Chain A
Amino acid sequence: MKAPLLVFGWGNPSRGDDALGPLLVERIEALRLPDVECLTDFQLQVEHALDLHGRRRILFVDASVDAAAPFSASRIDPAKDASFTTHAMTPQAVLQVYRDLEDEDPPPTWLLAIRGESFELGQAPSAAAQGNLAAAVAWTRHWLSGRQPP
């Protein structure tokens, strides 16, 4: 039986602020909340559509160079986008793969984009990113509780 709530973060833990997604997942996993499954990977790919099946709600988490600090959070829908760029897919494209493979709409999904600045190999996350992460964790706890996040 799959947990009804999925928190899925991606990024490379050894590339500075790219670690924000996995770090958020680590913080949430440490809370040992019931009904929550936490997963991470280096990046999104087609097979992750299979992880979405049977969920009530999904939260995708990534570092972002576009989001305003500390983070942005929004509902996302499946999209036939152009993210076949590189080996990494957008979360919208993964939702589309789910829809096409399963022939049904994916569970309601949010994208939490945490502002990052620096992505060099071997760097630790920046101080600014750590602050953004703390705010994002607080938001995620609201999201998991089903209450309206502040």
Chain B
Amino acid sequence: MSFELETAAHPQNLKRVAIEPVSRVEGHGKVTLLLDDDNKVHQVRLHIVEFRGFERFIQGRPYWEVPVMVQRLCGICPVSHHLAASKALDMVIGATLTPTAEKLRRLMHYGQILQSHALHFFHLASPDLLFGFDADVAKRNIVGVIGAAPEVAKKGVLLRKYGQEIIRMTAGKRVHGTGSVPGGVNKALSIAERDLLLKDIYQMVAWSREAVGIIKGLFEKNLASYNEFGRFRAHSLSLVRADGAMDLYHGGLRARSADGKPLFDHFDYGRYWEVITEDVKPWSYMKFPFLNSLGPAEGWYRVGPLARMTNCDFIPTPLADKERIEFLAYDGGRPAGATLGYHWARMIEMLHAAENIKDLLHDDDILGTDLMSQGERQERGVGVIEAPRGTLIHHYRVNEDDLVIRANLIVSTTHNNQAMNEAIRQVARQHLDGREVTEALLNHIEVAIRCFDPCLSCATHALGRMPLEVTLEDAEGRVLDRKFKDGRGVRSAT
């Protein structure tokens, strides 16, 4: 748990390589490497241009607008923000959800998990996994996957589409939905909608099982390299249900140490600040959360599919739990501590999401019409959800005029900030140290970051604003070489 390679001893004597922004990662991310003349790595940092205007965007607005407006913080996981905000504001209005409202929200959430995990595995990560981290960049993309494995790619598209249909039916619209509101939901699911979703759910479960098989097969084929790639030890944090089960919608906070020992369990997330603090570092806009009991140097942790898989006692759906048991036991448990293990865990979660959707669609409560509740008004509300990328915290204070006067959001990618930095430092040690810097080697850094599926929601995606820039500078900051990549391909920018 050291910060080796975070800060070089004599940076003035080193040359600098910047990868900006990281491709296939949502938003603005930049990696800088400081190398000496022998290409030995002295410093590695992932800089994230986190937009800290979230809070300002929300403050001063009526609380009932918040679940809708927070969707605009992020084009990738709007549903997670929609639900986390709704949960926080349930607390503000003192609501205990009706069974129908909670199950419809769960259906929406598991639809989001399904479509997000499908996109990440089949289209963002699989080019690396199917073609290798050194493969030609022209092949290593979504279109390359369709060419090489059309059935795999097509299933990925259809899994994603199915998840989005669930979102459309529960949120009311494909995007900018309004389904979840403080105190419940405002849209019931019709029998026709339920039946439409039921028609395809068994296929989705089957394809999700196949996806677990694909990543398992890739691990079997590349076991030693996958186990070691970007490997580091970390504590883990996630929600778990009262009985210790994986629950991506609701539960108490559980943290475990790197060797699996409990640090705290079933902690009420309404007081999350008693166990988590956000540290700042002068070289990054993004904060570095840590567990209070261990302090900033020792208390950083990881969140997301891998953390959830190792943190829970069981998964409450049978097919996914069988896969979880196999994952944790495989090769003495090594993949469960590997950075690439995120992919395996993510596919088990996708299977869990599909099974959960199936169960919810067979539950008569899902067709109920008792959608709203209300209780005693509170000044403060905290909502926590396990978003596709990890734990997401929304925290609001609302005044007597029903206006939000304080907002604090800790998003999954912020929780994983130190873990991602650690992963790329390990990769730099393993693959770059003392070697010539090539595009393929730099992709190894990106592969490590992509394992976390970071979502840096500050980006806009207007045409012409999606470049990847790699810059090599000497110790005086003079540009020695620069390559530029956007939707039209790679070209020299100097």
Task: List chain A positions with a Cβ less than 8 A from chain B.
Answer: 10-15, 17-18, 39-43, 45-47, 49-50, 62-67, 80-90, 92-93, 96-97, 100-101, 113, 116, 119-122
Contact = CB atoms under 8 A, between A and B. Distances in A.
> Main secondary structure on chain B at its contact with chain A?
mixed
A10 B461 contact: yes
> Main secondary structure on chain A at its contact with chain B?
loop
Interface residues of B, number: 58
Nearest to A20: B462
Contacts of B73: 121
Nearest to B143: A80
Interface of B: 21, 23-27, 51, 53-54, 56-57, 69, 72-73, 75-76, 78, 119, 123-124, 127, 137-138, 141-144, 146-147, 150, 153-154, 156-157, 160-161, 164, 174-176, 455, 458-468, 485-490
Contact of B464 (A18, A65, A121): A65
B138 A87 contact: no
Contacts, number: 159
A40 B463 contact: no
B143 A42 contact: no
A14 B72 contact: yes
Contact of A64 (B23, B458, B462): B462
B23 A86 contact: yes
Contacts of A62: 461-463
B463 A85 contact: no
Nearest to A10: B461
A82 B53 contact: no
B160 A12 contact: no
5 contacts: A10-B461, A45-B160, A66-B464, A87-B455, A97-B146
B75 A42 contact: yes
Contacts of B56: 122
A11 to B, nearest CB: 7
B57 A121 contact: yes
Given A86-B21, A92-B487, A122-B57, 12 more contacts: A43-B75, A46-B160, A64-B462, A80-B141, A81-B488, A81-B489, A84-B124, A85-B466, A89-B142, A93-B142, A100-B150, A100-B153
